[in-house]
Amino acid sequence: MSEDGPAPLPAHRKRYGPRAPQWLRPAILYVLLAVAAYQLSGWLFHNLRGFLGLLFLAWLLSITLEPVVDRLEGYGLRRGAATGLVLFGLLAFAVGFVAVFGTLLAEQLGQLLKALPDALTAVTEWANRVFDTNFTTGPELLRLTPETVRDLVQRFTPGVLGVVSSVVGVVFQAMTMLLFVFYMSAEGPAMRRTISSWFPARQQRVISTVWEISVEKAGGYVVSRLILGAVSAVGTGIFLMIIGVPYWLPLALWTGIVSQFVPTLGTYLAIALPAIIAAANQPIDGLWVVLFGTAYQQVENYVLHPRITSKTVSIHPAVAFGSVIVGASLFGAIGALVSVPVVAVLQALVETYGRRYELVVDTGDTGNTGNTGDTGGPDDAAPGPEPGDR
């Protein structure tokens, strides 16, 4: 700056004004690229949501089968042959179940759907009579009228072409998922080595640890739930047969599936439907079903569940319920099914790589906050677990 005042501006700055900062143009470019990437990822996610859910479900099934495939491979079988043998065994079991119980299940399920409105009406009338309530009964209970039924039939009953296309679509999705399951399980170690080779040595150890945690937690969770669901379905079916409740097979399957794969509310929803059907036939039978469900739940909680799920992650019920809602919102029914195993894996990863620090103030002594002793620092905190410790 001279003594006569500030230096005069150059001619181009007089004409166009002050020059913009150098960082402004790159920043605008990065913001536009970020917005474009966000829009593109949202569009891809919306259009590929079904395929991504199917792919993730196939991965979940593949890591569920991996412990069995590893054991068969240890006996000398090639990994591809071991995977094919396990899948063939599962398909044979499914075909055998349909051959033995398929006709009975279809008949009882159709009869159950027809009898459900009358059963709800009978239970409601019994509650009004015993407890002096005034709940709605009759067709208005489910708002079922001949016109409503006709509209529902016309809406949800497709023609011959629609049935054929639906069957072809289901078969195609099933074959696609089985193909992904086979390759993900048979080529699991090779795929893990290929992915690990893209990263340095330290990240390779992290990938190996994450993979092991996923196989252990997610696979163990699914296997344990399948076992508990099978035990619950068999026990409930036998009890319903003994006391003479109709439609025992679909009710038993309903109880086994809902009680294990719907967290928090599944236990109550699972036993509610058999109790309603039993009470519609004999009110005392509904009470017996409720008592059986309560007793079995205690046996499962204190005897079966700790032993079968000893190697899986214990998830807080509120977290599990919230994960199901989020999974269903993102991926529909498949998302609701796989959400809890995903949360189990994430929780195990946090426990593995997370670090807990000592509390500087005793939470039970809120009155004496002035004398906290050595508060310590980052170097004084308890070290976190090693990547391999779970």
CB–CB of 259/235 below 8 Å? no
**Inter-axis angle of helices 266-281 and 248-261, nearest 10:** 160
Helix, strand, coil % over all residues of the chain, rounded to 5 = 75, 0, 25
Domain borders along the chain are: 26-103+138-187, 199-354
Task: From 343, 354, 355, 348, select the one nearest 390 (Cα to Cα).
Answer: 348
Looking at residue 378, the DSSP 8-state letter turns out to be G
The neighbour count for residue 350, using CB atoms within 10 Å, is 9
Closest to 91 measured CA to CA, from 234, 249, 166, 83: 83
Q: Which residue, 295, 296, 232, is CA-closest to 259?
A: 232
Q: Distance (Å, rounded) from C-alpha 145 to C-alpha 299? A: 43
Question: If phi over 0 gives left and psi between -120 and 50 gives alpha, with beta otherwise, what is residue 143?
Answer: left
Q: Could you give the maximum distance between any two Cα atoms of the chain, in Å?
A: 109
Q: What is the pLDDT along the chain (390 residues), one digit of tens a residue?
A: 555 555 555 555 555 556 667 888 888 899 999 999 999 988 888 888 778 878 888 888 888 888 888 888 888 889 989 999 999 998 998 889 888 888 888 888 888 878 877 777 777 777 777 777 776 665 555 555 556 655 655 555 555 555 566 667 778 888 888 899 999 888 888 888 888 888 888 888 888 888 888 777 777 788 888 888 999 999 999 999 999 998 999 999 999 988 888 776 777 888 888 998 888 888 889 899 999 999 998 888 888 877 777 656 567 777 777 887 887 787 777 777 778 778 878 887 787 777 777 777 665 555 554 444 444 444 444 444 444 444
Q: Are 260 and 224 in contact (CB under 8 A)?
A: no
DSSP 84: H
Q: Residue 5 pairs with which residues in a beta bridge?
A: 2
Specify whether the CB–CB gap between 323 and 340 falls below 8 A: yes
Measure Cα distances from 118 to 37, 111, 113, 272, 283 in Å: 54, 11, 10, 16, 14
CA torsion sign for 356, 362, 364, 367 is negative
Give the residues across from 2 on adjacent strands.
5
> Token pair of 184, please?
């993900």
Look-up: residue for tokens 């051959």? Answer: 99
